Amino acid sequence: MEKLTIDSTIYSSKPIEGSRLEKEMKTYRLLEQLGISYLRVDHEPADTIEDCKEIEAILGVKIYKNLFLCNRQKTQFYLLVMPGDKKFVTKEVSKQIGSSRLSFGNAQHMEKYLNTTPGSASILGLMNDKEHKVHLLLDRQVTESEYFGCHPCINTSSLKIQTKDILEKFLRYTGHQPCIIEL
C-alpha cells in the first residue's frame, strides 16, 4: 500500500475562500455559523478507512466509516456511520431498522441527496438533504465517543469535531433524527 501524502499541519479554521470546491467551503461556513469548532488536516484523496490510519494518528481521532445504503427498491436511503474497525453485516442492520435487505446506494443518489461522491461520504453531507430523503443510522459506539472524525464532504481533508456538537448542534440544524444501532 502506498503511503498517503498528508500535510501534517493541523488547522483550526477553514481554507482560504475560493481555494477549494464550493461543497467543502459550504461545510466550513455552516460549522462556523453553528459555532462548531474543529481541527482539520489536508491530504491526498483518502478513499478508504485504511487510507485514514495516518490521518487518525495526526488528528488524534478515529475517522468513521460512512456507508450510503438503500433498500432493494431504491426508495429508502440511509447513511450508516460506524467505527472503521467494525464489520458491516447487512442482515444485522436491516433487522434493527425493520427494512428489507440493504445494499450500497449508487453514486447518483449519493450526489443528489448528500452532494458527496463515493469515498467522500460524510455525516456533514446531511446539510444538503433538505427533504430528509436519507435516514441517519449511527452505531452506538459513535455516539459514545468524545470526538467525531469525518471528511468535510470531500476526501482531501479530515476533521476532528466534538461528538456532542454533531449530535446537539449539527443534527438539530439539519433536522435528521439518528437511529442508534448496535453492530
Q: Label the pairing between strands 147-150 and 157-162.
A: antiparallel
pLDDT of residue 63 exceeding 70, the answer is yes
- Structural domain contains residue 156: yes
Asked, for residue 1, whether it belongs to a domain, the answer is no
Q: How far apart are CA 30 and CA 173, in angstroms?
A: 10
Query: In whole numbers, what is the pLDDT of the chain averaged over residues?
Result: 94
> CA torsion angle for 89, 157, 13, 38 (degrees, to 10)?
20
Q: How confident is the model at residue 2 (pLDDT cuts 50, 70, 90)?
A: low
**What's the CA angle centered on 108, arms 116 and 113, to 5 degrees?**
55
Give how far the C-alpha of residue 116 lies from the chain's centroid of Cα atoms, to the nearest Å: 10
Residue 1 has pLDDT above 70, yes or no: no
pLDDT tens sequence across 103-145: 999 999 999 999 999 999 999 999 999 999 999 999 999 999 9
Q: How confident is the model at residue 49 (pLDDT cuts 50, 70, 90)?
A: confident
In a domain, 147, yes or no: yes
Q: For the residues 27-47, what does the mean pLDDT come to? A: 96
Task: Please report, for the domain that includes residue 164, its CATH number.
Answer: 3.90.960.10
Using 50, 70 and 90 to split pLDDT, how confident is the model at 58? very high
Q: Is 104 left (phi over 0), alpha (psi -120 to 50) or beta?
A: beta
- Domain extent, residue 52, equals 6-181
Residue 152 lies in a domain: yes
Q: Sorting pLDDT into bands at 50, 70 and 90, what band is 17?
A: confident
Look at residue 42 and tell me whether its pLDDT is greater than 90: yes
d(CA 153, CA 157) in angstroms, rounded, equals 9
Question: How many separate domains does the chain show?
Answer: 1
